[in-house]
């Protein structure tokens, strides 16, 4: 009787095209390498791009593209996920068109990028949790962690821009004439504890934020990325052992 039940259960499971049982979600579903490349392009673009509607639209488009890919791959594909992906993609297209045409203001573009910067790590963390649970430490998981690391730099740059708009005195000791690209550049020199010194915070709040960013960057590298790389290397060594 037990044998018949097991045979019935096996027949009820969906099979692949060649008749073999499904092996679960493939790692290729998690395209975090693509997300990393898009976010890296966003970081570099924001640093070098001039001010204007089109550069702001491109920045929103890159951030939105990274979010769409991370949302589309956070779980097994379902009709509901397809609807969510299309909705997010449609909203991004509308925002990009409105910003490029000058219908949506620069303040809206800045707010949109900030919200996207916040949303991307959340979706990445959700998908990476599932990926690591099912597949362990993989190259895609490492790419996802590196993507979150880049988003930390952009997030702190957004916080700096917000503080600069609120306070009356300049945020930087070098004066008020600092572009958004300069803020992103400064944020990553702090995140990586490089500290060239060409831009320095002028206020106690700025100093505290710099310390917080340095700690966040180093702790994330040592814990999340370090652990993932360590597990990946040990897994690869185990696969090669006889």
CA atoms within 13 A on the CB side of 241: 6
The Cα–Cα gap between 62 and 107 comes to 18
pLDDT at 143: 93
Render each residue's pLDDT in the chain as its tens digit; 242 residues. Answer: 444 444 444 444 444 444 444 444 444 467 899 999 999 999 999 999 988 899 999 999 999 999 998 888 776 667 888 888 899 999 999 999 999 999 988 888 888 888 998 999 988 888 888 888 888 899 999 999 999 999 999 999 999 988 888 888 899 998 888 888 999 999 999 999 998 989 999 999 999 999 999 999 999 999 999 999 999 998 877 666 55
pTM exceeding the 0.85 threshold for the entire prediction: no
The Cα–Cα gap between 89 and 109 comes to 16
């Amino acid at each position: 009787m037990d044998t018949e039940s097991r045979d019935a259960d096996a027949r009820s499971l969906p099979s692949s095209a060649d008749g073999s049982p499904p092996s679960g979600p493939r790692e290729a579903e998690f395209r975090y390498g693509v997300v990393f490349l898009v976010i890296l392009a966003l970081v570099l673009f924001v640093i070098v791009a001039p001010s204007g509607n089109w550069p702001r639209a491109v920045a929103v488009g890159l951030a939105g593209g990274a979010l769409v890919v991370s949302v589309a791959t956070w779980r097994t594909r379902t009709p509901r996920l397809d609807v969510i992906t299309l909705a997010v993609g449609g909203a991004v297209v509308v925002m990009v068109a409105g910003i490029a045409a000058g219908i949506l203001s620069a303040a809206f573009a800045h707010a949109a990028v900030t919200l996207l910067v916040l949303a991307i790590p959340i979706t990445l963390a959700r998908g990476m949790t599932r990926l690591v649970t099912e597949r362990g430490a993989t190259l895609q998981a490492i790419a996802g962690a590196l993507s979150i690391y880049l988003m930390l730099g952009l997030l702190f740059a957004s916080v700096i821009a917000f503080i600069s708009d609120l306070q009356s005195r300049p945020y930087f000791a070098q004066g008020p004439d600092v572009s958004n690209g300069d803020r992103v550049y400064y944020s990553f020199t702090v995140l990586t504890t490089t500290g060239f010194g060409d831009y320095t915070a002028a206020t106690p709040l700025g100093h505290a934020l710099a310390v917080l960013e340095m700690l966040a960057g180093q702790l994330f590298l040592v814990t999340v990325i370090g652990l993932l790389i360590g597990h990946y290397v040990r897994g690869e060594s185990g696969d090669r052992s006889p």
